[in-house]
Amino acid sequence: MFEQSLQMLPPHGQAIGMEMVGTEGRVVMVKVPYAEHLVGDPDTGIIHGGVITATLDNASGWAVRCHEQYQEGQSMATLDIRIDYMRPAEPHQDLLVNAECYKLTANIAIVRAQAHQGNLADPIATSVAAFMLGTPNVPREAVE
């Protein structure tokens, strides 16, 4: 299932260097290696919050697919995500994200995720996201 997800690494995931590290039960682990173009504050070299948002969002979506009740091929869309930033990321260190889908119903999936740099007890940011399942996933031209 996840080899397939890896092939589906979205263009923006590739653009920021996102990698799937692996899974453990319902937990999906994702890595973004530190890179200069991801910096948000040139004074400090700290990566931009937007990179953290993109990674949390992406990892959360993968976590839904990792839930045992998820039906392969079911499409989904992010309804909302709330991110709390705990501390600045350390410059020159990789960004890691653990995401877990802790509730999945017929229509909705709820995922929590932590962004960290190796120590889960000292996260950079945490998030909660809700996804709508079974949304249309056919090319726009086909619909219009």
Partner 1 sequence: MKILEKLRNEGRAEDMQALVEHIPYARFLGIEVDRKGSEITTVLPFKPDLVGNTMLPAIHGGVIGAFLEITSVIQLLYDTSCERLPKTVDISIDYLRSGKPLDLYGRAVVTRQGRRVANVRAEIWQEEKAKPVAASHGHFLLTPV
Query: Where do contacts with partner 1 occur on this chain (CB under 8 A)?
Result: 10-13, 15, 36-43, 47-51, 53-58, 61, 77-85, 88, 137-140
Nearer to partner 1, 24 or 41 (CB): 41
Q: How far is the CB of 55 from partner 1 (least distance, A)?
A: 7
CB of 32 closer than 8 Å to CB of 94: yes
141's CB contacts (< 8 A; 6+ apart) are none
Minimum Å gap between C-beta 97 and partner 1 is 11
Specify the residue, 13 or 123, whose C-beta has the smaller distance to partner 1: 13
Closest Cα partner for 6 from 69, 18, 129, 104? 18
| Of 20 and 54, CB closest to partner 1 | 54
Tracing tokens 């940011």 back to the chain, one arrives at 125
Residue whose CB is less far from partner 1, 24 or 135: 135
Question: Of 90, 99, 84, which is closest to residue 118 (Cα–Cα)?
Answer: 90
Strand, helix or coil at 133? Answer: strand
Least Cβ distance, residue 98 to partner 1 (angstroms): 16
